[in-house]
């Protein structure tokens, strides 16, 4: 659900653009807080033409934006998403904690009848819906503490890039409130304007939210059936395969050709087995002809996984490997599955954003394109690392480690 949102934050760092207005005023008598408020108000007012095109009335626009101020917490949190800061094992410790598993099992039992109806209609596994609910809002216990209109207005008027994206979220949030799906004052969201029990940004709400309880409202804030069904509809529309799981933890033999673990090359599970790969729990493949790719989320010294199509569908909800792995693992645990069999490399020091930028710069200078110097270990950076590791005779697992950074600095 946050795929577009994550793309927007990675496209460029958010900046306090309204502060620049104050700086440009030099010795003007007006105080900085007043100047910031005026700049923000002017920016919000300038969004009226876009709101009108989105179907928002002038009277509602004026009512909703009267006295609107920037959300300081939104600006503070904009570069602090946990899946890009913590090492994956620490992220999963929280995301799939014993309490979250037990709460998920209780929620699954409580809403089993509704979930079964939704699964029958949308062909999405109930435990995955519950896992997303748990990951997004701890089963509805924390829906963000922000207001979607205020948060999206803040982002639309305090960013140096992708303003059209945030303006779409702002006008979309206004339209949702105007239509009466939820009162404006109850439009709870994250700092990035992701709303309700399962955290839809406004444009995704417009495209995928459904009225499952039949009250005429697509209310993902107060109607759990609507929230569950909207999430199922989103996954269904993005290609969820009801017959498959999301992936398998596997054991890779010592003599394995790690170049095959490029994170994209798919083979049938039976073919991976011919390379010596087995399920970590020792069980057989339930569907040996399913296609999967090999993935090392923490390098060749950590757990390995064969990921199926549904893993990438989960990433359409939130485009982070850690998030998708968390959802898949939590879903398995909710229906009785065990913990991972293999240990994470917990003695591995995670790289800071600055160190990742340094690694990207060093790789790029050596002819291995990372697709930009943004401090994020995304697909292009992992590809560049694998290419460098192959060229240097190392295990090409694509893992951004401190050891690799030190090696690059020495060469």
**Nearest-10 Cα torsion for 254, 260, 262, 263:** -80
**Nearest-10 Cα torsion for 159, 160, 166, 171:** 90
Backbone angles phi, psi at 366, to 5 degrees: -90, 5
The region, left, alpha or beta by phi > 0 then psi within -120 to 50, assigned to residue 249 is beta
Residues 225-259: b if buried by 16+ CB within 10 A, e if exposed: bbbbbbbbbbbbebebbeebbbbbbbbbeeebebe
DSSP-based three-state secondary structure for 268? strand
Q: Is residue 26 part of a domain?
A: yes
Query: According to the model, what pLDDT value does residue 25 have?
Result: 30
Q: Which two tokens stand for residue 299?
A: 């390098």
Q: What is the DSSP letter of 260?
A: G
Q: What is the DSSP letter of 83?
A: G
Q: Is residue 162 part of a domain?
A: yes
Q: How many domains does the chain have?
A: 2
Burial class (CB in 10 A: 0-12, 13-18, 19+), 48: middle
Spans in the chain with pLDDT lower than 70:
1-35, 79-85, 159-161
CA gap 198, 218 in Å, rounded: 13
Strands 146-147 and 188-189: antiparallel
Query: According to the model, what pLDDT value does residue 10 have?
Result: 39
CA gap 14, 160 in Å, rounded: 6
DSSP-based three-state secondary structure for 238? coil
Global model pTM greater than 0.75: yes
Distances (CA, A) of 263 to 258, 267, 305, 308: 11, 11, 10, 11
**Nearest-10 Cα torsion for 34, 36, 42, 46:** -160
Q: Which of 397, 90, 369, 48 is nearest to 252 (CA)?
A: 397
Q: Is residue 241 part of a domain?
A: no
Query: According to the model, what pLDDT value does residue 31 have?
Result: 43
Beta strand segments in 117-196, E: 146-147, 188-189
Query: According to the model, what pLDDT value does residue 292 have?
Result: 98
Q: Which two tokens stand for residue 341?
A: 């069999």
Instruction: Single out the residue in 179, 195, 211 at which a domain terminates.
Output: 195
Q: Which of 114, 132, 123, 197 is nearest to 334 (CA)?
A: 132
Residue partners of 395: CB distance under 8 A and separation at least 6: 258, 300, 389
Q: Which two tokens stand for residue 390?
A: 């192959």
Q: Is residue 94 part of a domain?
A: no
Q: Is residue 97 part of a domain?
A: no
Instruction: Single out the residue in 153, 168, 195 at which a domain terminates.
Output: 195
Query: According to the model, what pLDDT value does residue 285 have?
Result: 97
CA gap 327, 310 in Å, rounded: 11
> Angle formed by the axes of helices 88-95 and 321-334, to 10°?
40
Q: Is residue 345 part of a domain?
A: no
Q: Which two tokens stand for residue 136?
A: 């997004």
Residue partners of 357: CB distance under 8 A and separation at least 6: 373, 374, 375
CA gap 125, 176 in Å, rounded: 28
Query: According to the model, what pLDDT value does residue 259 have?
Result: 78
Rounded to a whole number, what is the distance in angstroms from the first to the last CA of the chain?
A: 41
Query: According to the model, what pLDDT value does residue 161 have?
Result: 66
Chain segment 33-42, per-residue pLDDT in tens: 555 778 999 9
CA gap 388, 359 in Å, rounded: 11
Q: Is residue 279 part of a domain?
A: no
Instruction: Single out the residue in 134, 168, 195 at which a domain terminates.
Output: 195
Q: Is residue 326 part of a domain?
A: no
Query: According to the model, what pLDDT value does residue 1 have?
Result: 65
Structural domain for 369, as ranges: 353-410
């Amino acid at each position: 659900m946050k795929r577009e949102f994550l793309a927007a934050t990675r496209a460029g760092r958010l900046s306090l653009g309204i502060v620049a207005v104050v700086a440009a005023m030099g010795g003007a008598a007006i105080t900085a807080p007043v100047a910031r408020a005026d700049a923000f108000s002017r920016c919000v007012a300038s969004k009226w033409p876009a709101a009108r095109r989105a179907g928002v009335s002038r009277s509602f626009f004026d009512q909703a934006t009267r006295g609107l101020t920037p959300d300081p917490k939104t600006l503070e949190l904009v570069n602090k998403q946990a899946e890009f800061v913590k090492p994956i094992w620490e992220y999963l410790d929280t995301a799939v904690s014993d309490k979250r598993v037990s709460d998920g099992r209780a929620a699954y039992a409580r809403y089993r009848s509704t979930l079964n109806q939704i699964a029958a209609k949308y062909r999405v596994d109930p435990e995955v819906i519950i896992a997303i609910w748990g990951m997004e809002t701890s089963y509805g216990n924390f829906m963000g503490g922000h207001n979607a209109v205020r948060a999206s207005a803040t982002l639309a008027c305090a960013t140096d890039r992708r303003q059209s994206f945030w303006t779409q979220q702002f006008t979309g949030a206004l339209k949702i409130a105007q239509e009466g799906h939820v009162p404006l004052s109850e439009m709870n969201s994250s700092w990035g304007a992701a709303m309700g029990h399962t955290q839809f940004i406004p444009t995704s709400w417009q495209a995928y939210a459904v009225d499952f309880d039949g009250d005429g409202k697509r209310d993902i804030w107060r109607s759990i059936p609507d929230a569950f069904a909207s999430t199922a509809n989103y996954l269904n529309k993005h290609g969820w395969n009801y017959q498959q799981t999301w992936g398998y933890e596997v054991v890779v033999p010592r003599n394995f050709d790690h170049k095959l673990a490029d994170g994209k090359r798919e083979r049938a599970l039976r073919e991976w087995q011919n390379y010596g790969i087995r399920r970590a729990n020792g069980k057989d493949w339930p569907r040996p002809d399913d296609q999967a790719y090999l993935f090392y989320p923490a390098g060749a010294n950590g757990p390995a996984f064969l990921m199926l199509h549904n893993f990438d569908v989960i990433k359409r909800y939130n485009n982070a490997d850690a998030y998708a792995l968390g959802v898949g693992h939590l879903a398995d645990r909710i229906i009785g599955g065990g913990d991972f069999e293999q240990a994470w490399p917990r003695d591995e020091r995670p790289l800071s954003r600055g160190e990742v930028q340094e690694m990207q710069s060093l790789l790029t200078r050596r002819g291995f394109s990372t697709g930009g110097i943004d401090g994020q270990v995304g697909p292009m950076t992992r590809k560049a690392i694998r290419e460098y590791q192959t060229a240097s005779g190392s295990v090409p697992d694509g893992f951004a480690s401190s050891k690799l950074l030190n090696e690059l600095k020495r060469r």
